[in-house]
Structure 1
């Protein structure tokens, strides 16, 4: 702040000498007050006897810059115990309006919060509205002020006050900023207020605001989150007639909700609507669909979508292939999973450790250990190291096939690499050894488990009896 400029403008305040209890001019005392050094008893006396009309004159002086006005008012608030009165609502609103006009929005919001939010609605909206009308004559500033009120009430969850502010602005011809309304919709979304959000959105439409697709998408998201996917689609269809065209983000919200809930009947209607509105899939649309189809076992549909992605020039990442391979393996369709793996190579999509884990785990579960080992070798040739999950899948597969020596060899390899077999796999190794009457080796495995702190009697009580 420029102190000299403040002092110059303060000279214009009428009656300043009459309201100064000391012999010094008002300008000189204000200069001392705003200086870094502590003020003396004369200046303290001035603050204590500052009159409301002098403060009002200072704050409303057009020659005083908004930043200087705010600095002085902030000083008065911080030293309020020394003052003979409390700055009233009009003083606050005068400064706030000046800050808004100067685009000092952060300072305006902070000061507005003290009179509207702090103390649980310190001043009701009706009082604030009537006061600002008397202290602010510039229409553009009023528009900023009331939109600020709407946003502030929304941010702190005073949704009834938001409704009151909205009605006041509409009834008094004060332009409502659609962005402020969107902020409110987001606040309602965060509070999961579906019905309030829908009602407010319809109020926006009836007020003839230029409602954006972003506001529409927020409301659709709230509806879908609450399972009202059909209502979300119907809202999109309804607003199409009002000139609000949904975009890919809007559709992806609905697609995601359908995919997660396996609501494929509604999904078909949404995809038809996308086609009608000529909204093309993006990479996220494909991901959402493939995730939903694989989780529900619709693997062929998911695989066809990956092929379609490539045809449209979109890159399908390994994660999407992994979803399909894992789903095929879960269904026991290992051959189909292997074909998808081969398709990855044809499409120059590099498999990662998750790809190999899904395929090797599936092969182990169906007992095709020879092919599983081949994929392990292929994985290692590409520089991908075996992890604990793959080790355990192999060991479990060996035990299920009675290949206990291979399982033990794998266990030794794991120990060297710093991994540990799952206790349940160790239990299977012990059981297989006992069946072959190799109790000494079984005891060695048990001792390894004991060193790890495993509860042996809980794990394999019948095996302990055999040993």
Structure 2
């Protein structure tokens, strides 16, 4: 195997290197880099080194970076060794070293990067906080936390908050999250080395607590950051907005958004998206649309997740036409948007179009198939819904709920109860949606006593009834003329802080089914 170019090409390589050296000397670095990239870096460093007529640290440094950027790791290392062995080793640009370390990380060679830091950079004092952070971050990504920590604690790698934040994030992903406290203590102990907590530190904590649904701890972390007078950035404020929306406290999410703007931090698409999603889930579609308009005013285009949140929000508010119009403006649809639009079509009685849309997807997952089952049920095609259900490998509780509701709508409450027992046998929990379907199904079949029994089972199993659960049973009792029970249940619902989803419907039930004297007596009791 040839170790270098043929003799005729040697002079050409030498001429190119000399030209690159002249351009570097004239500070025409971009031109020199372009010349080397196009004509030299496809050659092995041994051939390039043999053609060098003068030792140029800047030229070698540039070759180190170019070899690294192209993923040629062996020649990049050879270029580094040649450069660091010279009296001008101090001339190695830290950015070139970092390019090599990034290339190692990109290739998944995290241990090689750690060895390079230990054996070559630390002994020659060429290690920097940035190079340490690159290596430590890679080790954290690969799960080698002990080696990552030992670089700082035992080997003396220059510390940085970026390295510690990588360790913090990695420890929070492990079952032993208490070890994250040790990392925070290490950060605070490194204050004399210029290391201190920053906004990213608290973003990591807030995201972790939010995912764990420890919303109070997320708020404590945010308060602590402000007590330490650490300025928040857009990622920090976005995490707070998202956390408060997930906890259901949209009002305070708005406060965090306003605080972000007041601090001079520009909200980005993710910040707007978090709050728009919160508004949509709270049913505040006017506020969501106003925020979308503010996005556009700021020159930010709503991305697909934001538009999908809006479609889902309209769908849940029974504003199916608005959901459909927005969905049709989205162009190519992902599975989330496709499912939301299919649900809107089903509500509009366009089940055939809903099925066509769902079947047009590139792949069928549990979400898509569940939406397909719901579409079949809403169009009365229960046989087709069962066929899709029986072909699924792992239906989830939402899938069961869709089919249970379908059976209840057709009066097949016994089959619905069998499905409830089946899902619980698989370790899936029946929720308020499940029980509400059963309550409504029994009531519509005229079996109000059975509905009362199911409603009572909810409390026994730790499932809190929602407004729809109460409304379904109130309607059933009212139709049977069981006035006192209906009014008592209504008062219980209000006492629980639940509002009827449709007050006009409740009022019409009183007018249509309950005796006049009972209504008057109830009115007197309330006054």
Shared fold, TM over 0.5: yes
Match of 1:269 among 170, 178, 182: 182
- Does the CA contact (< 8 Å) of 1:189 and 1:197 recur in 2? yes
1:254 correspondence with 2:167 = yes
- Measured against aligned partners, the alpha-carbon deviations of 1:154-185 in whole angstroms (never above 9, x if no partner) come to 22222222333333344443425042222211
The answer for the alignment partner of 1:147 in structure 2 is: 61
Distance (Å, rounded) in 2 between the aligned partners of 1:146 and 1:353: 47
When residues 346 and 293 of structure 1 are mapped into structure 2, their CA distance, relative to the original with a 3 A threshold, is closer
The answer for the alignment partner of 1:161 in structure 2 is: 75
1:125 correspondence with 2:45 = yes
Match of 2:243 among 309, 324, 332: 324
CA-CA distance at 1:113 after TM superposition: 4.5
Distance (Å, rounded) in 1 between the aligned partners of 2:20 and 2:274: 58
The answer for the alignment partner of 1:434 in structure 2 is: none
Distance (Å, rounded) in 2 between the aligned partners of 1:315 and 1:155: 33
Distance (Å, rounded) in 2 between the aligned partners of 1:415 and 1:451: 15
Partner-residue secondary structure (3-state), 1:227: coil
The answer for the alignment partner of 2:23 in structure 1 is: 99
- Measured against aligned partners, the alpha-carbon deviations of 1:253-276 in whole angstroms (never above 9, x if no partner) come to 333334455652332221111111
Match of 2:97 among 181, 189, 192: 181
CA-CA distance at 1:213 after TM superposition: 0.8
> How many residues were matched structurally?
318
When residues 260 and 98 of structure 1 are mapped into structure 2, their CA distance, relative to the original with a 3 A threshold, is same
Match of 2:224 among 299, 308, 313: 308
When residues 261 and 461 of structure 1 are mapped into structure 2, their CA distance, relative to the original with a 3 A threshold, is farther
When residues 229 and 298 of structure 1 are mapped into structure 2, their CA distance, relative to the original with a 3 A threshold, is farther
- Does the CA contact (< 8 Å) of 1:262 and 1:296 recur in 2? no
Match of 2:211 among 271, 291, 295: 295
When residues 425 and 388 of structure 1 are mapped into structure 2, their CA distance, relative to the original with a 3 A threshold, is closer
Distance (Å, rounded) in 2 between the aligned partners of 1:127 and 1:380: 63
When residues 392 and 127 of structure 1 are mapped into structure 2, their CA distance, relative to the original with a 3 A threshold, is closer
- Measured against aligned partners, the alpha-carbon deviations of 1:119-155 in whole angstroms (never above 9, x if no partner) come to xx2xx434543442xx32xxxx522232233223222
The answer for the alignment partner of 2:313 in structure 1 is: 390
Distance (Å, rounded) in 2 between the aligned partners of 1:227 and 1:252: 15
CA-CA distance at 1:354 after TM superposition: 4.4
Q: If you compute each CA radius of gyration, which structure gives the higher value, 1 or 2?
A: 1
CA-CA distance at 1:204 after TM superposition: 2.9
CA-CA distance at 1:193 after TM superposition: 1.8
- Does the CA contact (< 8 Å) of 2:241 and 2:274 recur in 1? yes
- Measured against aligned partners, the alpha-carbon deviations of 1:64-114 in whole angstroms (never above 9, x if no partner) come to xxxxxxxxxxxxxxxxxxxx9984444333333333322333343344446
Distance (Å, rounded) in 1 between the aligned partners of 2:343 and 2:9: 77
CA-CA distance at 1:327 after TM superposition: 4.2
- Does the CA contact (< 8 Å) of 2:73 and 2:103 recur in 1? no
TM-score scaled by length of structure 2: 0.50
Distance (Å, rounded) in 2 between the aligned partners of 1:300 and 1:288: 15
When residues 312 and 322 of structure 1 are mapped into structure 2, their CA distance, relative to the original with a 3 A threshold, is same
When residues 187 and 213 of structure 1 are mapped into structure 2, their CA distance, relative to the original with a 3 A threshold, is same
- Does the CA contact (< 8 Å) of 1:185 and 1:215 recur in 2? yes
TM-score scaled by length of structure 1: 0.55
When residues 452 and 461 of structure 1 are mapped into structure 2, their CA distance, relative to the original with a 3 A threshold, is closer
Distance (Å, rounded) in 2 between the aligned partners of 1:275 and 1:181: 28
CA-CA distance at 1:349 after TM superposition: 4.5
Distance (Å, rounded) in 1 between the aligned partners of 2:316 and 2:341: 10
Distance (Å, rounded) in 1 between the aligned partners of 2:289 and 2:48: 74
- Measured against aligned partners, the alpha-carbon deviations of 1:421-447 in whole angstroms (never above 9, x if no partner) come to 7545776x7xxxxxxxxxxxxxxx53x
When residues 381 and 311 of structure 1 are mapped into structure 2, their CA distance, relative to the original with a 3 A threshold, is farther
Distance (Å, rounded) in 2 between the aligned partners of 1:93 and 1:219: 32
CA-CA distance at 1:308 after TM superposition: 2.2
Gaps of 5+ in 1: 1-83, 329-336, 362-371, 396-409, 430-444
- Measured against aligned partners, the alpha-carbon deviations of 1:437-467 in whole angstroms (never above 9, x if no partner) come to xxxxxxxx53x43465657647642369959
Gaps of 5+ in 2: 1-7, 261-270, 294-308, 329-339, 357-371, 383-405, 412-527
CA-CA distance at 1:211 after TM superposition: 2.0
Distance (Å, rounded) in 1 between the aligned partners of 2:243 and 2:9: 73
Distance (Å, rounded) in 1 between the aligned partners of 2:16 and 2:28: 15
